[in-house]
Amino acid sequence: MRQTGIFYGIGVGPGDPELMTLKAVRKIRKCEIIVLPISDRELKEPMLLEQNGKENKVLRYLEGCMAYQIAVQAVPEIEKKQILFLPMPMIKDKEKLRKIHARGAEVIEQLLEKGWNLAFLTLGDPTVYSTCMYIEQMIEQDGYQVETVSGIPSFCAAAARLNQPLGEQEDQIHILPGSYEAGEGLQLSGTKILMKTGKKMGQIKEFLQGSSKDICLVENCGMDDERIVRSVEEISEDAGYYSLLIVKDRKR
């Protein structure tokens, strides 16, 4: 019977390395290869590298990968592990993305066949709008062993940072992808959480102008450059990619 490695989809939490779970740290230590999604358009093919003697391009990839920057603070020994960079461009063409994900899964399966364990690092939790799950599902369908390691989602960390609940009693909680059309979702009752709202912030601000709802923006939650804004007027239209908006019905 063949002995293949295990693929782990690991959530590293929202930004603060102290919010990484003990399980995430233990699994990362167990793995020989760290898998990182890279959105740089120069990266066309999956690239496996040792970290010794880093090239400028490799350093740029590592510095630009927020999940790696969080994990390395909690698990510094990952600096000595091999890194598999996977191209993950920020595009919405589903067919192109499917081919990119399939190619990434193919390379990962080749490494699993050698008996190596791989840890795909992702911000927050792997099950919430994460590229990791597309790859993981393909690998599992091909008969390989996979395991998802949950991480603290950004919206839970943001609510904790604000010292406020997301839902009370009969309140509904709605999680919306802010980079897509969110207008209809904002009309739902209860708490609306818009994730990764950056590029659509202008449209969302316009929709919320004059609203009687309680609004709070948390940008880069748990990171050194964290910023909290508590009114629509103060929200910048060029808010960063890791901007999370919490919109709540005002209590009477």
Delimiting residues of CATH 3.40.1010.10 domain(s) in the chain? 6-149
Q: With 80 as the cut, is the pLDDT of residue 197 above it?
A: no
User: Rounded to an integer, what distance in angstroms lies between the CA atom of residue 157 and that of residue 163?
Assistant: 10
The CATH fold assigned to 6-149 is: Cobalt-precorrin-4 Transmethylase; domain 1 (3.40.1010)
> H or E segment at 143?
none
Q: With 70 as the cut, is the pLDDT of residue 19 above it?
A: yes
User: Rounded to an integer, what distance in angstroms lies between the CA atom of residue 149 and that of residue 127?
Assistant: 9
Delimiting residues of CATH 3.30.950.10 domain(s) in the chain? 154-248
The CATH fold assigned to 154-248 is: 3.30.950
Q: What is the pLDDT of residues 87-133, one digit of tens each?
A: 998 887 889 999 999 999 999 999 999 999 999 999 999 999 998 99
What is the rounded average pLDDT for all residues in the chain?
A: 89
pLDDT level of residue 177 (50, 70, 90 thresholds):
confident
pLDDT level of residue 1 (50, 70, 90 thresholds):
very low
Residue 3 makes CB contacts below 8 A (sequence gap 6+) with 115
pLDDT level of residue 226 (50, 70, 90 thresholds):
confident
pLDDT level of residue 212 (50, 70, 90 thresholds):
confident
pLDDT score recorded for residue 34: 97
Q: What is the pLDDT of residues 32-54, one digit of tens each?
A: 999 999 988 888 899 998 665 56
The predicted model scores a pTM of 0.90
pLDDT level of residue 153 (50, 70, 90 thresholds):
very high
pLDDT score recorded for residue 91: 81
Q: With 70 as the cut, is the pLDDT of residue 181 above it?
A: no
* Residues paired with residue 49 on neighbouring β-strands, in sequence order: 83
Q: What is the pLDDT of residues 65-89, one digit of tens each?
A: 999 999 999 999 999 999 999 999 8
Q: With 70 as the cut, is the pLDDT of residue 235 above it?
A: yes
Strands (E), the chain: 6-11, 33-38, 47-49, 82-87, 118-122, 145-149, 173-177, 191-195, 214-219, 227-229, 243-248
